Amino acid sequence: MSGSLSRAAAALLRWGRGAGGGGLRGPGVRRAGSGGGGGSSAEQLDALVKKDKVVVFLKGTPEQPQCGFSNAVVQILRLHGVRNYAAYNVLDDPQLRQGIKDYSNWPTIPQVYLNGEFVGGCDILLQMHQNGDLVEELKKLGIRSALLDEKKDQDSK
């Protein structure tokens, strides 16, 4: 299978396995379903994905992802300097795990939502990261990607 995308993906999957944030204040890890009920009806999930600008459903947490694909999502967000996002661990809650798949009509985890809208899984986020779309989408949310600052530094040298 053709090279660059799968090589990049493989590299991301190897990074930071359980390495955590190294002292940086980590992203907000929210627990779904606080306050009674299963926390996974369509209405509840709808409210959940709209509550924060960037919402991800992972296996594990940003500090300790339990799956290579979920880890890739965490690493991509870290690269862009996105720190304040809501991360929900589906391994904590089987109803959430199934509920979010039904809600988005998408069969796998991780799932990424920007501005309340389902964007895709790890593959799509990776491609958006590589083709510059992610920087644009973050900009629309009022989030300035850290990669823009990196580039500026490089250009000015």
Partner 1 sequence: MELSAEYLREKLQRDLEAEHVEVEDTTPNRCASSFRVLVVSAKFEGKPLLQRHRLVNTCLAEELLHIHAFEQKTLTPEQWARERQK
Footprint of partner 1 (CB under 8 A)? 1-6, 9, 69, 105-108, 118-124, 127-128
Torsion angle of C-alpha atoms 99, 129, 135, 84, degrees rounded to 10: 50
CB of 111 to partner 1, least distance (A): 11
Written as one letter, the residue type at 130 is: Q
Residue 83 CB, nearest distance to partner 1 (Å)?
25
Residue 96 or 125: which CB sits closer to partner 1?
125
- Is the CB of 115 or the CB of 127 nearer to partner 1? 127
CA–CA distances in Å: residue 26 to residues 13, 99, 107 = 19, 26, 28
Residue number, 123 or 150, with CB nearest to partner 1: 123
The residue (of 32 and 119) whose beta carbon lies closer to partner 1 is 119
Cα distance between residue 56 and residue 46, in whole Å = 13
Q: How far is the CB of 124 from partner 1 (least distance, A)?
A: 5
Distance of closest approach, residue 107 Cβ to partner 1, in angstroms: 5
**Based on CB atoms, which residue is closest to partner 1, 117 or 150?**
117
CB of 100 to partner 1, least distance (A): 15
Spatial separation of the C-alpha atoms in residues 122 and 93, rounded to whole Å: 21
DSSP 8-state assignment for residue 57 = E
Which residues have a Cβ under 8 Å from the Cβ of 77 and sit 6 or more positions away? Answer: 27, 54, 56, 62, 85
Strand runs (DSSP E) across the chain, as ranges? 54-58, 86-89, 111-114, 117-120
Question: Tokens for 153?
Answer: 């530094």
